[in-house]
């Protein structure tokens, strides 16, 4: 079950965290993986992990916020792979701030990457997926549906991800393109470690435990757990699933409401 043999996949933001876990798992399950990221050094570590697990993957440097770059990369990918079966829109950035202290520059930066970047990838992928169908997974967040302090711009972008997911699922269901999104709660990634170190120096352990307990299940998620859900949604076992937002949050959304 959950084999991705004979399938090609593009995974954006595969250099670290959730994206790295998804790329590694998909390659392990037989997918021919292409990673789009701007951090070549980070992707190198992902490729090493994939090789150790017996999978195969390649890398194209890609700034998803630039449609010309995404278009060029997609054309190069299709010349080599001939078709695209899976797109995982994982690339994104976080931000801490409310409506007052979020600068225009930061707001625009989040829009360009988290919203326009996803649009760019959908815009270039869908015309090719329409030929034989395919699966799209977009990375949203629990912040799309639950009010979280100091996540004004970030929450805005992730709510847009849910909206884009539903729209694509509706518009292309007759083309056999399935589109779903995943809404993680707090996941232990390098961003979390960096955030704690920057804002709570000397109190890293204490703050890590405090943030972990904001999930009713009592801990943060692991990138590998998010990857497992993405694998299901992109596999043939999920052939009857489209237009859904999947919380994977240790009970954060439902049990805190």
| Structure letter (DSSP) for residue 184 | E
Q: Are 85 and 176 in contact (CB under 8 A)?
A: no
Q: Are 10 and 32 in contact (CB under 8 A)?
A: no
Q: Does residue 154 carry a catalytic annotation?
A: yes
Distances (CA, A) of 127 to 74, 83, 132, 151, 189: 11, 11, 10, 34, 33
Spot the catalytic one: 154, 172, 246, 252: 154
d(Cα 233, Cα 18) in Å, to the nearest integer? 15
d(Cα 65, Cα 196) in Å, to the nearest integer? 27
DSSP run (H or E) holding 192:
helix 190-199
| Structure letter (DSSP) for residue 127 | H
Rounded CA Rg of the chain:
18
Q: How far is CA 21 from the centre of its chain?
A: 10
Residues identified as active-site: 154
């Amino acid at each position: 079950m959950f084999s991705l043999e004979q399938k090609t996949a593009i995974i954006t933001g595969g250099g670290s965290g959730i994206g790295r876990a998804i790329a590694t798992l998909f390659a392990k399950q037989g997918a021919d993986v292409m990673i789009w990221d701007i951090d070549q050094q980070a992707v190198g570590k992902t490729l090493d992990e994939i090789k150790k697990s017996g999978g195969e993957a390649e890398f194209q440097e890609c700034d998803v916020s630039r449609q010309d770059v995404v278009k060029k990369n997609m054309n190069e990918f299709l010349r080599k792979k001939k078709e695209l079966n899976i797109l995982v829109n994982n690339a994104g950035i976080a931000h801490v701030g409310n409506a007052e202290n979020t600068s225009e520059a930061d707001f625009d930066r989040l829009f360009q990457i988290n919203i326009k970047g996803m649009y760019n990838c959908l815009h270039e992928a869908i015309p090719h997926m329409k030929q034989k169908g395919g699966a799209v997974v977009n990375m949203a967040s629990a912040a799309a549906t639950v009010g979280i302090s100091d996540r004004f711009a970030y929450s805005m972008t992730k709510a847009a991800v849910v909206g884009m997911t539903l729209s694509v699922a509706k518009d292309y269901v007759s083309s056999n393109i399935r589109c779903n999104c995943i809404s993680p709660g707090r996941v232990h990634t390098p961003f979390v470690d960096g955030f704690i170190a920057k804002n709570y120096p000397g109190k890293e352990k204490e703050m890590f435990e405090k943030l972990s307990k904001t999930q009713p299940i009592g801990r943060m998620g692991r990138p590998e757990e998010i990857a497992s859900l993405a694998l299901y949604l992109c596999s043939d076992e999920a052939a009857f699933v489209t237009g859904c937002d999947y919380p994977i949050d240790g009970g954060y959304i439902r049990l805190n409401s």
